Amino acid sequence: MNKSSILIFSPDNEPYLGSQLLKLFDDTIVKSMAVHRQLGARTYAADLSQLQIAATEIIPQGVSIALSMRELIRQGYLFSAGILMRPLVERAGMIYYLHKYPEAVRSWHDGWPRKTQPTFDKLLDLIMPSTCDEERKETLEILNKLVHSDPKTASYNSTTRSDGLCASAAGKELNEPIKADAISAFATRCLDRLTSISIQILGAPSEQIH
């Protein structure tokens, strides 16, 4: 069957099936969900610290965003999946920030005005601490541009039609493996960082999960 005629893809016929980076994203999701199933039960305890309470508010949002990105990739909506990269960084970066600067936890619970929160640059640095300056600059520009109506986002929304012509995608992008891989790799990094900070804040699972 021609993939362009499929309205809804399933795991056995999705357009980027076979991508190693997408497989890594899937493996990371499985590991993350297993860890959070165990840690989630602990969050109903009455003696959580203020940092742990903040974690229960922030981390599930990040995991949900990552899962949404995975489904968008499955359905070929790569532009929308790309837009979610910045919100994912914001959640992952924020919980790392609160863990690193515990004095900020009170501000979080007090409603923390947006203008006094850490900058997006700082949150990105917490998620990508070992990134070279050039890659960091490129990543920052992409994440900032994608969430706004900006002429530079046109290249991120372009796709190649079956006849070889380039077009701006208004729906599914079924022939953009490089773009799908880039989004998968980025989401994998963020989700892995979220899982790691969950373990640090809420404690290691009772069994080692691979």
Per-residue pLDDT of the chain (210 residues; tens, 9 = 90+): 577 778 899 999 999 999 999 999 999 999 999 999 999 888 887 799 999 999 999 999 999 999 999 999 999 999 999 999 999 999 999 999 999 999 999 999 999 999 999 999 999 999 998 778 888 888 999 899 898 888 878 777 887 777 888 888 888 999 899 999 999 999 999 999 999 999 999 987 765 444
Q: Give the start-end residues of each E strand in the chain.
A: 158-160, 166-168
Q: How far is CA 24 from the centre of its chain?
A: 14
Token reading at 51: 């940092």
Q: How far is CA 98 from the centre of its chain?
A: 19
What are the residues whose beta carbons fall under 8 Å from the beta carbon of 207, sequence distance 6 or more? 38
Question: What pLDDT, on the 0 to 100 scale, is given for residue 12?
Answer: 94
Question: What pLDDT, on the 0 to 100 scale, is given for residue 1?
Answer: 59
Closest CA to 69 of 85, 45, 56: 85
Ramachandran region, residue 124 (left: φ > 0; alpha: ψ -120 to 50; beta: rest) = alpha
Are 66 and 190 contacting, i.e. CB atoms less than 8 angstroms apart? yes
Are 206 and 38 contacting, i.e. CB atoms less than 8 angstroms apart? yes
Q: How does strand 166-168 pair with strand 158-160? A: antiparallel
Question: What pLDDT, on the 0 to 100 scale, is given for residue 210?
Answer: 45
**What residues does each domain of the chain span?**
16-147+161-202
- Token pair 């892995």 in the structure block, residue: 192
33/55 Cα distance (integer angstroms): 15
Are 62 and 92 contacting, i.e. CB atoms less than 8 angstroms apart? yes
